[in-house]
Amino acid sequence: MLKNVKVNMPEKGCIINANNAKKIPYVYYATEYYRDKNNVSRTTRVLIGKKDEENDKLIPNDNYFDLFDMEVIIRKKVKGNE
């Protein structure tokens, strides 16, 4: 996970879940909707990162870039070459 990269939350399909011991708001993306044998609505979800509480952005993980077909380019400042 790249902590210095922040992106906008996806418009649709996001599920934010903070039901863990540390109350960290993890963001899942629903990839499939279906009904089980009892006709109950279910989803298949993929973890795509954490919610940044300060500015309502998403701190993405590798699944985010795979799912949304994006490439991340990291530019590192090198002393003397800024």
Residue 34 covered by a domain: yes
Domain assignment present for 40:
yes
Range of the domain at 24: 14-67
Number of domains in the chain: 1
Q: Across all residues in the chain, what is the average pLDDT?
A: 82
Residue 18 confidence (pLDDT): 81
**Would you say residue 53 lies in a domain?**
yes
Residue 1 lies in a domain: no
Q: How far is CA 67 from the centre of its chain?
A: 10
Whether this model's pTM surpasses 0.75:
no
Average pLDDT over residues 47-62: 90
Residue 56 lies in a domain: yes
CB 3 within 8 A of CB 53: no
Q: What's the whole-number mean pLDDT along residues 31-46?
A: 93
Helix (H/G/I), strand (E/B), else coil: 56: coil
